[in-house]
């Protein structure tokens, strides 16, 4: 996904910590194979090493949504947004995940908030 391209600050983190880059690549490869359980394991290891790595939290939110875990997806996407300071594309993806979670949870307030944030980020 285009939103999962690394920002400059995320690239610096990977450059300074090989384990983070390796775990992210392994997780992405496993996601491409639809091996979401193993991908989640890699991402959870990554966030234990680098807890503020927004990309990993976003991927975990996407996997949770794929697994039908809407509440967990919402929480993980929010966490990703709290760390994605310089990556508006990632924020936009996370708000889309939150929107989908709100729809699955029949939570109009969550859905409306997500719609507003998506609009504010420039995607109508």
Q: What does the domain layout of the chain look like in residue ranges?
A: 2-120
> Which pLDDT value is given to residue 78?
98
- Tell me which architecture the domain covering 2-120 has in CATH: Alpha Horseshoe (1.25)
Nearest to 96 by CA among 86, 67, 122: 122
- The CA-atom distances, in angstroms, between 118 and each of 38, 50, 123 are 30, 27, 6
| Six-digit token string for 22 | 């390796």
Task: List CB contacts of 33: < 8 A, sequence separation 6 or more.
Answer: none
At 122, the pLDDT band (50, 70, 90 cuts) reads confident
Q: What is the mean pLDDT of the chain?
A: 94
- Residue 42: strand, helix, or coil: helix
What pTM was computed for the model?
0.93
pLDDT digits 0-9 by tens, 52-95: 999 999 999 999 999 999 999 999 999 999 999 878 999 999 99
Q: What is the pLDDT of residue 124?
A: 47
């Amino acid at each position: 996904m285009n939103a999962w391209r690394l920002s400059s600050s995320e690239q610096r983190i990977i450059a300074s910590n090989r384990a983070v880059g390796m775990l992210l690549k392994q997780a992405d490869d496993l996601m491409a194979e639809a091996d979401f359980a193993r991908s989640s394991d890699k991402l959870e290891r990554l966030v234990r090493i680098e807890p503020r790595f927004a990309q990993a939290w976003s991927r975990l939110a996407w996997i949770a949504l794929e697994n039908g875990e809407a509440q967990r997806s919402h929480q993980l996407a929010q966490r990703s947004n709290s760390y994605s300071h310089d990556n508006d594309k990632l924020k936009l993806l996370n708000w889309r995940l939150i929107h989908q979670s709100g729809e699955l949870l029949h939570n109009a307030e969550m859905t409306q908030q997500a719609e507003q944030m998506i609009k504010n980020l420039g995607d109508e």
